[in-house]
Structure 1
Amino acid sequence: MANQLKFSLVVSDLSGGGTVRAYLLAQVLKQLNYDVEVVGFNFGKDLYAIPPDGIPVISIAGSNYPQFFGSARQLRQKLSGDVIYAVKPKPTSFGVALLDKLSRHRPVLVDMDDWELSWHGGFDWKYQPGIKQFARDILKSNGALRFPDHPVYINWMESLVKWADGITIDTEFLQDRFGGVYVPNGKDTEMFNPDKYDPEASRSKYGLSNYRILMFPGAPRPHKGVEDVLIALDKLNRDDLRLVIVGGSPYDNYDEQLISKWGRWIIKLPKKPVEAMPEIVAAAHVVVVPQRDTVVARAQFPLKLTDGMAMGKPVISTCVGDIPEILADTGYLVEPSAPEQIAAQIEVIFNDFDTATVKGRKARTRCIEKYSTSTMATTLASVINKLYK
């Protein structure tokens, strides 16, 4: 029976970051020979990430309360899976999934790849409005409590996680808070295989041949520490170095702020589907994942780590959250918010690139063993089997 199952992955906002994890889980479920669909609201204009080949995506226009109840009904009508897998404990994903469980009794899994309240102050978050402010928040058309994923509602959803039939998480931080089964952000190490690509050809294709490339293959945000790499490049002041950013931020104009201050060092490539990423990462000499020490970062497993590890690249990252455990001795670790240490490691790598390349190959071996989609599949299969015992 198990392999006949279909999974509906519910995404809170297809124009937001949760889609990356949803697509990854969908790929792993397909690897296990399950049928999958990704169904989600869209509160923006464009998809945050381009769906992988073979993953059907159904988009429902998002709206605020009270219209959201109608949108949620539309989304529930699109859920054709035998198992509902909510990505993030939000009203727009897990909330809809729990309503479906109450009415149609389909099992519900919930996945967490962030601590959602960390975006709103984390341990310091409070909602203590006066009577007038509360009235404005709930009655005005643009009142804060009209937004479906206001932190008040997220806090409620987190308290209901225990009602899920299974919980998956991707960091020790989240496991400590919510329990669940550790399913780290794996990489398809067959797709991300450096032996399939010529780095010089990739650099030539993307106009990078004249430089030594540091790459951040994702969306910059303040907690991700890209500014620290750019400050390090200022300190080194070497014309042969460039930081390549792939895709950029869909949330705001943070990319433009970086370019306006450090445009000398930045080359920005457009957003690409996952199938194109191995060729792009192949062009890098070094992958940089300089997370800052914030509660947001401590709760995350940075996907960029496994981009670099799978492609056998030297990786510079920081001692934040699970990163030291993920990289172990296969990367170059520095303290967070320490541009001078990043600069020193860049020099170490390029002064002995042969040794750095050997370390990158060790990182690939570690990625295959611990952080591949095959490893994810083995763990996820055990979670699914428990649903039917």
Structure 2
Amino acid sequence: FGLGLLRRLKTRKPPAPGTSDDWELSWCGGDDWRYAPSPKQLYRDLFKPNGQLKEPDHPLYTKWLENWVSKADGLTVDTSFLQNRFGGVYVANGKDTELFSPEGYDAEVSRSRLGLSNYRVLMFPGAPRPHKGLEDVLEALEILQESDLRVVIIGGSPYDDYDDRLMKRYGKWLIKIPRQPVEKMPEMVMAAHVVVVPQRDSLTATAQFPLKLSDGMAMGKPIISTRVGDIPSILGESGYLVDPGSPQQIAEKIREIFGDWPEAEARGRMGRDRCVEHYGLTAMGKGLSEVLNNTLGAACN
């Protein structure tokens, strides 16, 4: 975005469109973050080989760039939080629902290939982070104590050793599958009985569109998630919602799902239909077309 603005200033030729799919400042405290170094620390940050201000994604630069978002010729956002903060046209961070489609896959076969045939699989198809609430699902399994339940994560955390810490504490309930290329992910998600997206009530989670929601919806899976940010409006009536940070409620939803599996499958199909209609590539294209048409139209006037 910053380079696009510089090019526009240099050439006087728009467009300089921008996209916001996350609130970067949320990772360091949001609007409460302050950079107030001592003179010695400022010198280190500026001139030492590993000085923090040599990092292009330092929060100070992010905060400065936020003041320039309004200068973009067009802006897309993927959550109501970001839209309220920056404006722009809403374009869901959706899914290729032709690639991610249950057609052509068999759940039992997928589970067998992954060595999961003996388990009821609660899948989180991504990298666990503290704000994603995976510990709450694992605590729910501690409450239930049903030996065939497993939480399956795919890929692990590329950022730190968080998934290793989860494995050390909850290894009884947790299975980790190596990271997969995107074209293999539909088969991976098909192996799930339930997809879990238990976001916690944090700035980071509120500002995000959880891609794991659209993974599960596109593959027609029942989904347990939380009342955080846009999640309730994304799922509509297709999901099983709980309060954030509530292992007890998650345990109750797990019982409810497996106690009435035909209803859970029906909700999964409803989620698939909803994903195709609202979060597929066609729906995303409409929003992008609006931004590009407005931007290019303004450039021609």
TM-score (norm 1): 0.74
Q: Structure 2 CA distance, aligned partners of 1:191 and 1:130?
A: 52
> Distance between the aligned counterparts of 2:33 and 2:210, measured in 1?
24
Query: Cα RMSD over matched residues?
Result: 1.2
**Shift in Å, 1:239:** 1.2
Partner SS for 1:197: coil
Give 1:369 shift.
Answer: 1.2
Q: Deviations over 1:63-106 (max 9, x none)?
A: xxxxxxxxxxxxxxxxxxxxxxxxxxxxxxx2222223333435
Task: Give the % identical residues.
Answer: 60
Hey, what's the Cα distance between the residues in 1 that align with 2:296 and 2:208? 30
Which of residues 338, 342, 345 in structure 1 aligns to 2:250?
342
> Do the aligned partners of 1:215 and 1:286 also contact (CA within 8 Å) in 2?
yes
Report the Cα distance in structure 1 between the residues aligned to 2:279 and 2:158, rounded to whole angstroms: 27
Task: Tell me what 1:266 maps to.
Answer: 174
Q: Confirm or deny that 1:375 pairs with 2:259.
A: no
Which aligned pairs between 1:76-95 and structure 2 lie closer than 5 A? 94-95=1-2
Which residue number corresponds to residue 101 of structure 1? 8
Matches of 1:97 and 1:267, distance apart in 2: 43
1:238 aligned onto 2:146: yes
8 Å Cα contact 1:188-1:374 kept in structure 2: no
1:145 aligns with 2:63: no
Contact 1:115 1:296 in 2 (8 A): yes
Structure 1 position 358, deviation (Å): 0.6
Which of 65, 86, 97 is equivalent to 1:157? Answer: 65
- 2:93–2:209: 8 Å Cα contact kept in structure 1? yes
- Show the counterpart of 2:35: 127
Q: Residues 370-389 of structure 1, C-alpha deviation per residue, up to 9 Å, x if partnerless?
A: 11111001111121112221
Measured after TM superposition, the shift of residue 186 of structure 1 is 1.1
Q: CA deviation at 1:217?
A: 0.4
Instruction: Tell whether 2:202 aligns with 1:294.
Output: yes
Q: 1:179 aligns with which of 72, 87, 91?
A: 87
Q: Partner residue of 2:126?
A: 218
Number of aligned residue pairs: give it: 296
Counterpart residue identity of residue 384, structure 1: L
1:98 is matched by which residue type in structure 2? L
Deviations 1:132-151 (A, max 9, x none): 33222222222221211111
C-alpha deviation, 1:130, in angstroms: 2.8
Gaps of 5+ in 1: 1-93
Distance in 1 (CA, whole Å) between partners of 2:219 and 2:85 is 32
Q: Which residue is 1:304 aligned to?
A: 212
Report what 1:387 is aligned to: 295
Q: In structure 1, which of residues 324, 333, 341 is the aligned counterpart of residue 232 of structure 2?
A: 324
Give the C-alpha shift of residue 332 in structure 1.
0.3
1:166 pairs with 2:166? no
What SS does structure 2 have at the residue aligned with 1:363?
helix
1:75 corresponds to which residue? Answer: none
Partner in structure 1 of residue 135 of structure 2: 227
Q: Which residue of 176, 186, 191 corresponds with 2:99?
A: 191
Displacement of 1:153: 0.5
Give, in whole Å, the separation in 1 of the partners of 2:291 and 2:3.
Answer: 21
Larger % of helix: which?
2
> Aligned AA for 1:235?
I
Q: Kindly indicate whether the alpha-carbon contact (under 8 Å) linking 2:15 and 2:296 is maintained by their aligned counterparts in 1.
A: no
Residues 244-299 of structure 1 deviation map (CA, whole Å, 9 limit, x = unaligned): 10111111111111111111111111111221111111110000000000000000
Structure 1 residue corresponding to 2:270, chosen from 362, 369, 378: 362
Report 1 or 2 for greater relative contact order, CA contacts < 8 Å, sequence distance ≥ 6: 2
Match of 1:333 in 2: 241
Contact kept, 8 Å, 1:170 with 1:183, in 2: the verdict is yes
Cα offset, 1:308, TM superposition = 0.7
- The code of the aligned residue for 2:168 comes to S
